[in-house]
Chain A
Amino acid sequence: MRSHSLVPAAIAELPWRMLAFVIFITGFGLVVLYSAAGGKLMPWALPQAVRFAIFLGLAIAISRVKVDRLKAIAFPAYGIVLFLLVLVEALGFVGKGAQRWLSLGFMNLQPSELMKPVIILAMARFFDLLPVAELRKWNAIWPAAAMLGVPAALILVQPDLGTAMMVVMGGIVMMFLAGLPLRLFVGGIVFAGVAGRTAFSFLHEYQRQRVLIFMNPESDPRGAGYHIAQSQIAIGSGGIFGKGFLKGTQSHLQYLPEGHTDFIFATMAEEWGLIGGLLIIVAYAFVIKWGIGVALEGKDRFSRLAAAGLITTIFFYVAINLMMVMGLAPVVGIPLPLVSYGGSAMLTVMLCLGMLMAVDRQNRRGGALRP
């Protein structure tokens, strides 16, 4: 069927069902950005649309890359991003101000953002290289822990707790999927509970505040709890069908802070209600389900691990952001990918999707010959 189509094979082959959901999510996001700007394309909706078009092209281009090529660049890419992280840190130190990004002219690049997919690739590559017999040995753990720990520490001191957490969780999921002994994770959870208290004392004051206020947002509705309180008001007041397009008061009267970036879900939910919210959640669920399917069908270890890790990265974005805006997690500054205004998160997600499509393409071609 494909060979007879008028559409070029390269395009026809793409997983269009998944892409349809991605386009739907982004399109819905553009509608919300249009409303958040008071019914205008500028300053958010139009640049976001252009950016999405570019990144979609990029993702499709990446889908043409062979998985072996990805495998080959995993470690070098890791090294480069790690270097960029150090560079950002050094620039921040020289400039006497915390800085998370490097200016590329047309956009600000956050190396910590890039680290999210790159750490997945690097760890997939590591476990791919590791002989299966070694999996339950110490040799499987410490290099992975080191690969994970160094960038996480660099990101944490930026300080960017949210991204550091995402990187760490992505790495842990990789270890889990690679088959490290289960007792490690059970023990780890217990340890984390104990260590959490200790770590709390090392957090920055504003981060600690965020955690405390998160426990009880009403305690400080005008101060640090303001974001969560206003976000929940926006979502809750939307009801089932929402207040209607362009009729959200929380966002238009600026009660909702960051209504076009981290809290865009609340802006959306106020105008589109529970229906809109569920549509977005379901659409993401389809994309993630597709990603897990790709991982399960992976032809080799690297493909399986990388695909599962990449889709998990997207999952973490969505889950942490939604938990945050609904008052289930502290405000950690994680955007809702594809919907929130901004390039970095969208770039990360589109890179992830591009690589997932590459794995998918290999799966469908009967791909890799070697296991």
Chain B
Amino acid sequence: MRSKVRKPLLTENSQVFTFTRRALVLGGAQGLMATALGARMAYLSIEQNEKYKLLSESNRVQARLIPPRRGWIVDRDNQPIAINRSDFRVDLIPDRLKEPDRILGALTELLELTPDQVERIKEQLQDAAGYQPVPVAENLSFEKYAALTIRLPELPGVSPLRSFSRFYPEGAAVAHLTGYVGTPNKTDYEAEQKNPLLIAPGFKIGKDEIEKTMEHRLRGTPGQQRIEVTARGKLVKELSTLSDQPGGILPLTIDIGLHSYAARRLGDESGSIVVLDCNTGEILAMASMPAYDPNEFSAGISHRTWDMMAADERHPMINKVMQGLYPSGSTIKPLMSLAFLEKGINPKATVTCTGAYRVGNAIFHCDKHHGTLAMHEAIEKSCDTYFYHTSLQAGPEVIASMAHRMGFGEKFDLPVPTQRYGTVPDPQWMQAKYHRKWEMYDTINMSIGQGNVLVNPLQLATMAARIASGRAVSPRIVRTKTIPEPAALPVTPEHLDLVRAAMRDVVNRAGTAGVAKLPVDGVLLAGKTGTAQVRRITMAERNSGGVRSNESLAWKMRDHSLFVGFAPADKPRYACAVIVEHGGWGASVAAPACRDVLTYLFDKGKAMAALAALEEQWGGTISERMARRAEKWVPPEKPSRPAEPKQSDNAAAEGKANNPRRPPTKTI
């Protein structure tokens, strides 16, 4: 467009010309701008279309993982040990949380949280990186869940969820068998290359024992839900759902009835009971008590509970079956006899016991004056003098070799996170460990299972099973369709017969464990008692009125009570080992427990009646007694505050003589 040139003043004319020129420049600039805008838009919507389409989709669609239901753990008859319960839970998503104090206040009111729980949530919120949901409460009633859901719009960051929680019907009785599950922590998350499943609300992983080691079989495959959400996270519609695949069922060799019975039979004692099938090595029961409640642990425990556990001198956090190391005491004697026989010592050769045995200027004591006896009677009466004397003839090498063959010092191929396998001392070991020569008193101490000998309860049960069956069985915990035939034990069968006969008479003739006789017709129990000393008895104590009785000592100073056995004596099927820490005489505590547990296998009714009487005396079932104890417990001045329950001693299967429970040697 051209401006009409008219005829005004000259200056005005030039000014019009300037205006026209400049207006055209302006118009041109505006045209350029329009072109540039058009080009920019074309760039965005054609060239960058793919990128922005993706971004728009990722805005719109949110994929939500559905945590898979965890596989069940069942016993040998497919009875449940660990199952899942449907429940309602609430988590906090730190990333979306605004005004944490206000929201926590509202939750406290709605869900009736205790101050203890609020403190735990606050602490976890501080530690939580934005990705990790912080559990607020689980196992909510539907009423509370519904009340919360209604108020959700005003509670950003609060995530209520219908999910599944792990449930262990037998509670504390199976704690050290199954372990427990828990919310994955930062280390777990990073160990799995930041697997998004691990931060899905409500998802739990195995934290200990079988739950931990068998995680790969139990976990399952997560499902996925694709949903359309608004910018504020409000669900618009579900697009598609891929359901989860539950984890596989894990069958164990455990007989859950027997296992719980064993756990209950331990009462308030600190100890463990192991029962093996002596022909296959299958573990039928492996109770360790006291224990924590895995249901409570899986939901997340309070500081108070943790402090109570940590302060308990009976170590409820430790699986004593595989992590407790004890001197074997006299339960080593059947094995010792096998070593003697192998060395060619005549079982009829006699030793005279006068209650004390002198080597050089040291005196070794026996608890009685047994008089003159041979091997059979020495086992039956548990005469230390016989073993002191004969072990010196046999020498430490054959003894150590036999102990190894019986499973002492052995680490079994089992899916457990920690095994402490103890010590079988011999001259080389002594040199390597303490840089000194093996002395005669070392052999003498070893002959009655004291000194440097340390075993765990599972090894004791294995020894019993091997002696009973004559087969080199090893403990198994996961049930399989076929079990490889165990090899024959590299021990002369006739020697085994001699020892088995002596063990039968320990219980059934004039032996130390008459109390352990089975109340079942036609079934004889064979066994051996043991009393492991944990303190040094000085000459001064002996001179001033004799050895102090266990009752007069502090609990920690009392002897451990042990018993190993198998039944039926003539055709062994079951092997059993019982250790009751600081329980006193083997015959007084461990042997009756073994009797009752094995009775359960032959006559359930009788066994249950015996237990009922005992539990009445103790004041109720395990959970009742635990609840009462928790109520009474008063925290010490300075409670410890770890982030999560953890084994206090996680030293890998090492178990040399650095065991804190290692007792001082007997009299030197």
- A interface vs B, CB < 8 Å? 132-133, 135, 173, 176-179, 230, 232-240, 249-250, 253-255, 269, 273-274, 277-278, 281, 284-285, 288-289, 292-293, 295-297, 301, 304-305, 308, 312, 315, 319, 322-323, 326, 328, 371
Contact = CB atoms under 8 A, between A and B. Distances in A.
A292 B23 contact: yes
Given A236-B48, A236-B49, A240-B49, 13 more contacts: A232-B44, A236-B53, A236-B56, A237-B49, A239-B45, A254-B232, A281-B34, A281-B41, A301-B15, A319-B30, A319-B33, A326-B37, A371-B6
B583 to A, nearest CB: 63
Interface string B39-65: 011101110110111011001100000
A292 B26 CA distance: 9
A285 B3 contact: no
Nearest to B230: A253
Contacts of A322: 37
Contacts of A177: 19, 22-23, 26
Given A281-B38, A285-B31, A254 B230 contact: yes
A23 B261 CA distance: 88
A309 B301 CA distance: 74
B23 A237 contact: no
A176 B49 contact: no
A297 B4 CA distance: 7
A274 B44 CA distance: 9
B230 A326 contact: no
20 contacts: A177-B22, A179-B22, A233-B52, A234-B56, A236-B56, A239-B49, A249-B56, A253-B230, A255-B60, A269-B45, A278-B41, A288-B30, A295-B23, A312-B26, A312-B30, A326-B37, A326-B40, A326-B41, A326-B44, A371-B6
A362 to B, nearest CB: 14
A281 B39 CA distance: 11
A265 B57 CA distance: 20
Contacts of A236: 44-45, 48-49, 51-53, 55-56
B27 interface: yes
A315 B23 CA distance: 13
A58 to B, nearest CB: 25
A139 to B, nearest CB: 16
Contacts of B31: 285
Contacts of B4: 297
B362 interface: no
A178 B44 CA distance: 38
Contact of A319 (B37, B46, B232): B37
B59 A255 contact: yes
B231 interface: yes
A72 B399 CA distance: 124
Interface residues of B, number: 46
A230 B230 CA distance: 13
Interface string B200-228: 00000000000000000000000000001
Contacts of B12: 132, 371
Contacts of A297: 1, 3-4
A293 B1 CA distance: 7
A285 B37 CA distance: 11
Contacts of A237: 49, 52-53, 55-56
Contacts of B55: 233, 236-237
B353 to A, nearest CB: 85
Contacts of B34: 281, 284-285, 288
B537 interface: no
Given A288-B30, A315-B30, A277 B41 contact: yes
B552 interface: no
Nearest to A285: B34
Nearest to B229: A253
Interface in B450-497: none
B360 interface: no
Interface of B: 1-4, 6, 8-9, 11-12, 15-16, 18-20, 22-24, 26-27, 30-31, 33-34, 37-38, 40-42, 44-46, 48-49, 51-53, 55-56, 59-60, 228-232, 236
B37 A253 contact: no
Most chain B C-beta atoms within 10 Å of own C-beta, residue among A132, A133, A240 = A132
Given A233-B59, A237-B53, A281-B34, A296 B20 contact: yes
B56 A233 contact: yes
Contacts of B20: 296
A185 B19 CA distance: 15
Contacts of B46: 239-240, 274
A328 B11 CA distance: 41
Q: Which of B53, B59, B229 has the most CB of A within 10 A?
A: B59
B4 to A, nearest CB: 7
Scoring B27, B56, B231 by chain A CB atoms within 10 A of each residue's CB, the highest score goes to: B56
A288 B44 CA distance: 25
B26 A176 contact: yes
B1 A179 contact: no
B23 A179 contact: no
Given A233-B52, A237-B49, A278 B38 contact: yes
Contact of B53 (A239, A281, A285, A315): A239
Contacts of B52: 232-237
A218 B591 CA distance: 74
B149 to A, nearest CB: 22
A288 B35 CA distance: 14
B56 A296 contact: no
A69 B281 CA distance: 112
B29 to A, nearest CB: 9
A135 B15 contact: yes
A285 B1 CA distance: 15
B57 to A, nearest CB: 8
Contacts of A249: 56, 59-60, 228
Contacts of B42: 274
A40 B499 CA distance: 95
Contacts of B19: 177-179, 301, 304-305, 308
Contact of B41 (A176, A178, A235, A285): A235
Nearest to B58: A233
A277 B15 contact: no
A253 B45 contact: no
Nearest to B36: A328
Contacts of B9: 132
Contacts of A304: 16, 19, 23
Contacts of A232: 44, 48, 52
Nearest to A133: B11
User: Closest 9 interchain pairs by CB?
Assistant: A236-B52, A237-B56, A237-B52, A236-B44, A254-B231, A274-B45, A132-B11, A179-B18, A292-B27
A289 B23 CA distance: 11
B22 to A, nearest CB: 5
B474 to A, nearest CB: 58
Residue with the greatest number of chain A CB neighbours at <10 A, chosen from B18, B24, B52, B60: B52
Nearest to B44: A236
